[in-house]
Amino acid sequence: MKVTVAIVTYKRAWALPYSLSSIANQTRKPDEVVIVLKPSGDGSEDEIKKFISILPIKLILQGRGNVTDALQIAIDNADGDLVLFIDDDAVAEERWIEKYITLFENLPNAGAISGNVYKGYINNGSVVKTTEPFYSEVPTRRVFYREPLPEFVGYIGWIAKSGFMGMANPQYDGVFKYVLLKGVNMAFRRSVINDCPLARLFKKSRRCFLTNKFSHTALGGKDMIYMVPEVLMRQRFGILPIINR
């Protein structure tokens, strides 16, 4: 199974060495690393060049558009059977790729899989992991307009009849059906997103949730799976979300 790791980046020269080092140190190496860079003059190109000899990098410069357009560019240029997204300020646990492959092999009806995000910190140039969730997830009050659409009954995260998101008690261990993918740590079967116009769907979605239009439509009827076996952290404002699936 061929694996593409995809990173979209803008003004993250300071974080890219952490992220790319974590990809280089995977137990299962990626077959390609697609980086979509929107130039900003911050030196990101120089940081990426340092990894050209140790990672199979395909660098694409983005001339216009937003982050969703960048995601679409990454998908369009990915050759892998699986496309794994990691943010440019996140760090992957060393078995991140290996675990995604195993999950997709064991979950043949999963069109996409995502995972938790935990906080981390940089201390003297080293990443310090924590078990503190990066995102605060609060269960949705169960009122009639927050009830899930029929196709999402049984999900712990769903799109409600009102069009908004709904969530049961947050789960941090196990495999669950969920419609909200965390862009910092998500993966797709390439076959189910070949013809998905991501940028257009995102712009037309009610609140610009990345997954509002994915689910059964974009994934060709395949389930969206939310996977929470281990840790994933990312960096923002000095807090380093580090990816650890």
Question: How do residues 156-191 score in pLDDT, each as one tens digit?
Answer: 888 888 878 888 876 666 777 877 777 788 899 988
Q: ∠63-19-238 over CA atoms, to 5°?
A: 95
pLDDT at residue 56, rounded to an integer:
98
- Across the chain, mean pLDDT equals 79
Secondary structure E strands in 155-212? 157-159, 165-167, 175-177, 185-189
- Alpha helices (H) along 77-147: 96-106
Q: Report DSSP letters for 210-224, one per residue.
A: TTTTIIIIITTTPEE
User: Which among 25, 90, 16 is positioned nearest to 54, based on CA atoms?
Assistant: 25
Which strand (E) or helix (H) includes residue 71? helix 67-76
Q: Picking from 41-45, 79-83, 167-171, 225-229, which range would have the lowest pLDDT averaged per residue?
A: 225-229
Calpha distance 53→71 (Å, rounded): 24
Which contacts of 66-73 are long-range, i.e. CB under 8 A and separated by 24 or more positions?
Answer: 67/8, 67/10, 68/198, 68/199, 68/202, 68/203, 68/210, 69/199, 70/8, 70/10, 70/36, 70/38, 71/6, 71/8, 71/36, 71/183, 71/198, 71/199, 72/197, 72/198, 72/199, 73/8, 73/36
Per the model's pLDDT, the better-predicted residue between 235 and 59 turns out to be 59
Reported confidence tier of residue 80, pLDDT bands at 50, 70, 90? very high
Q: Quote the CA–CA distance of 82 and 85 in Å, as a whole number.
A: 10
Are 244 and 231 contacting, i.e. CB atoms less than 8 angstroms apart?
yes
Spatial neighbors of 208 by CB under 8 A, at least 6 apart, are 202
Q: Are 72 and 199 in contact (CB under 8 A)?
A: yes
Q: Is the pLDDT of residue 217 over 70?
A: no
Decide: 3 and 81 in contact? Cβ < 8 Å.
yes
10 CB-near residues (< 8 Å, 6+ apart): 37, 38, 40, 44, 67, 70, 88
In total, how many domains does the chain have?
1
Residue 166 sits in a domain whose CATH number is 3.90.550.10
Question: Which of 6-20, 83-97, 126-140, 211-225 has the weakest average pLDDT?
Answer: 211-225
Q: Identify the pLDDT of residue 144.
A: 86
**Between residues 233 and 179, the one the model is more confident about:** 179
pLDDT at site 232: 35
Tabulate helix, strand, coil % of the chain (nearest 5): 25, 30, 45
- Indicate the pLDDT class of residue 220, thresholds 50, 70 and 90: very low
Range 95-119 average pLDDT: 85
Regarding predicted confidence, which is higher, 239 or 97?
97
| Residue 234: pLDDT over 80 | no
Domain that holds residue 194: 3-243
Whether the predicted model's global pTM rises above the 0.95 cut: no
- pLDDT at residue 206, as a whole number: 47
